[in-house]
Amino acid sequence: MSDPAASPQTASSPEAAALSEAPASPEPGGSPEPAASPGPAASAEPAAQPPGSTRSGPGRLLVAVYALFALSASARAVVQIATEFSHAPVAYVLSAFAAAFYIVATVTLAVGNPAARRIAALSCSVELAGVLAVGTWSLADKATFPDATVWSGYGSGYGFVPLVLPVFGLLWLSRWSRGGRNRRRGR
């Protein structure tokens, strides 16, 4: 009987030898505990990411829409400034300004750490104020805006998405922050 017991340990890998020793080890510090430790670590990992982060679901969609607007507003501003800046300098500079805020919002929403969320909230707030201010200005003083900007007419050229996007961003950030506060209170 000593030959069958010796053959699995000598003929197999060190991992198999450790597994064959695990059931025989009655000590609490033996191998049953290391096998149990990956379970809690794996379950703690999803709990560390709050529900509704920008890494999944609607948060990912929000980041994607911001990235699309960052790209389109940047491209539009670069082309307008490079080719016809003297025609509507205020409108084109405001397009570049909008593009900068879309880029900041995209990056900070994607990063998602506490500092980035604060910057994203500030960016979305300034963006919303910009859409409201430029939208009103563009309707009141059409001579200053011979060409449209992303924010002209409250974003009417883009289906009013520039008006609602910062609202959704701020709502998402407030929901995400509330989830973090509730988890901290529960601890």
181/74: higher pLDDT: 74
| Confidence (pLDDT) at 179 | 58
Burial of 70 (0-12, 13-18, 19+ CB in 10 A): buried
38/81: higher pLDDT: 81
* pLDDT per residue as tens digits for the range 33-49: 444 444 444 444 444 45
Answer whether 21's CB lies under 8 Å from 35's CB.
Answer: no
| Confidence (pLDDT) at 37 | 46
Mean pLDDT, rounded, for 134-144:
94
Distance CA 18, CA 28 (A): 16
Task: Evaluate if residue 164 carries a pLDDT over 60.
Answer: yes
Burial of 19 (0-12, 13-18, 19+ CB in 10 A): middle
Task: Evaluate if residue 73 carries a pLDDT over 90.
Answer: yes
| Confidence (pLDDT) at 180 | 54
The confidence band for 3, taking pLDDT boundaries of 50, 70 and 90, is: low
Q: Taking CA 177 as the corner, what is the angle to CA 161 and CA 181, rounded to the nearest 5 degrees?
A: 165
Mean pLDDT, rounded, for 153-180:
89
59/19: higher pLDDT: 59
Answer whether 45's CB lies under 8 Å from 37's CB.
Answer: no
180/82: higher pLDDT: 82
pTM of the predicted model over 0.85: no
CA torsion sign, 88 to 91 to 95 to 100?
Answer: positive
